[in-house]
Amino acid sequence: MAGITVVALEQAVAAPYATRQLADLGARVIKVERPGRGDFARDYDRTVKGMSAYFVWVNRGKESVVLDLRQEADRALLDAMISRADVFVQNLRPGACDRLGLAAGTLRARHPRLITCEITGYGGTGPYRDKKAYDLLVQCETGLVSITGGPEVPARAGISIADIAGGMYAYSGILTALYERTRTGRGTSLSVSLLDALGEWMGHPYYAQAFGGTPVRRSGARHPSISPYGAYRCGDGAQIFLSVQNDREWVALCERVLRRPELVRDPRFADNPLRHAHDEELTGQLEGCFAGHTADGLLALLDGAGIAAARLRTVAEFAGHPQLAARDRWQDFDSPVGPLRGLLPPVEVAGRRAPMRPVPSLGEHTEAVRAEFAGPGSGPADRAPSPA
């Protein structure tokens, strides 16, 4: 995406996550921040050598420009930046961009090739339009918290899953709009709500609830509708996780791991719905057999039988995962606090390695961008047409 310029009036996680994906593809992302503290995600924590882990995660590869949009000169500079941009992304509080004269319709009337993307909590219409929306609150509103956790206590998903969902749909929407512009020559206006994005990911529990007739139950680390699928104790006290997805794997588990071929013909376990209905009894059968194995020995046995299995790793153990090390998936990148290590973007492109550009300090690029966009010969007429 070299040659594509993105101007982002963004904060927190959802929009910054979307634009970081574009930066990873080589786009120029100019992040506009408030005077003083900037993006409030900079203050979420101080765990990365004094920087916020959230901010480091979603802002690599961007330029930081501090603008006070109440000041005429700074507002004019933002207008100049947008006039030369390919994409404008914002996730300010509801109505903020409208009051600033930055509504999608206004911008696209001035700049027909511009792609605008608005990320909201609950969408641009309806009774929830003006409500503030943060990740956990959207998890609650979509029903995710009601099906996450153990039988007694619901739980938040352990990552900012609503923000990530919204960011990824914004990212894919922007890529689609750029592709469309190569054929039509015109931009478009996109909007993504966190409620809609995470709601799409709630498809399975929705259909199970709507047509199953009973509420989806919280099942901890067990799958709510597939069995056996979850954690099982071994003889050394450790737990391993395994998953049987079809009857062929069930036969392999019984014959090659459990050494109990008669279980294949047990009417309680004849197919997955029956196995799930008798999950407690099935767990007893499995753990009775697993009691004679260590976790390492059992994992080797399951691998040999073609049964999907895993060990429960901590985040620290994930950071040292042998598969990631063997594939050289970690790479250093720069930041205001020195070199940091992060995972390469998930999409591997043959013959290329994604740029891992620095995390910006607050306002690091303000003066350079001001000189570029406010200097002589910087108007939109002087800008070469984008390749997209």
What's the pLDDT tens digit per position in 65-114?
A: 999 999 999 999 999 999 999 999 999 988 889 899 999 999 999 999 99
Please, which residues have CB within 8 angstroms of residue 250's CB and are 6 or more apart in sequence?
A: 244, 264, 269, 275
Coil vs helix vs strand at 374: helix
Coil vs helix vs strand at 340: strand
The whole-model pTM stands at 0.90
The one catalytic residue in 223, 276, 278, 293 is 223
Q: CA–CA distance from 352 to each of 4, 147, 342, 349, 366 (Å)? A: 18, 41, 17, 6, 31
Look at residue 264 in the predicted model and tell me its pLDDT.
93
Coil vs helix vs strand at 61: coil
Predicted confidence band of residue 379 (pLDDT cuts 50, 70, 90):
very low
Look at residue 375 in the predicted model and tell me its pLDDT.
66
Residue 385 above 50 pLDDT?
no
Instruction: Please write the tens of the pLDDT for every residue from 356-368.
Output: 999 999 999 999 9
* Residue 204 appears among annotated catalytic residues: no
Predicted confidence band of residue 384 (pLDDT cuts 50, 70, 90):
very low
Q: Which domains does the chain have, with CATH numbers?
A: 5-202+325-382 (3.40.50.10540), 229-312 (3.30.1540.10)
Residue linked to tokens 């039509």: 184
With pLDDT > 90 as the criterion, what percentage of the chain qualifies?
85
Query: What does the pLDDT average to over 120-139?
Result: 94
Instruction: Please write the tens of the pLDDT for every residue from 311-353.
Output: 889 999 999 999 999 999 999 999 999 999 999 999 998 998 8
Instruction: Please write the tens of the pLDDT for every residue from 163-176.
Output: 999 999 999 999 99
Predicted confidence band of residue 374 (pLDDT cuts 50, 70, 90):
confident
